[in-house]
Structure 1
Amino acid sequence: MSNRKKLPVLLIKEENQYIVYCPAFSIANQGPTFNSALYKVKNGIELFLDEMDIKNDSIPLNNN
């Protein structure tokens, strides 16, 4: 069974970089491709959740 959740992200293309921003956690990252930037954001969210130790609890979302 997977603990995967779907979260909205914002994609910004700037010259030769892609920026992916997850407003729910105010986490962003960039990369030369969309997939690399998305991968980095996913890792950032995972690290955040690991640090907060809330992977199986309620998640405090940024509602702004």
Structure 2
Amino acid sequence: MEEIEFDLTLSIEPLDEKQKLILDLANGSRKPQNKDEEILLRQIKAIEKKGHMLDLSFE
């Protein structure tokens, strides 16, 4: 039987500033710093209240 090797290394690119902001607001590690962030947090909470998950594109 032939032995097969798999490359299981995972390359994760760093988050951009907007993605980090969204994650920090969503998990409560950051409080909104301005009106735009307050609006963003309300949108995040509305998504979660509906039972949906926040999905960020990493492409």
TM-score, L = length of structure 2:
0.36
Say which structure is richer in helix.
2
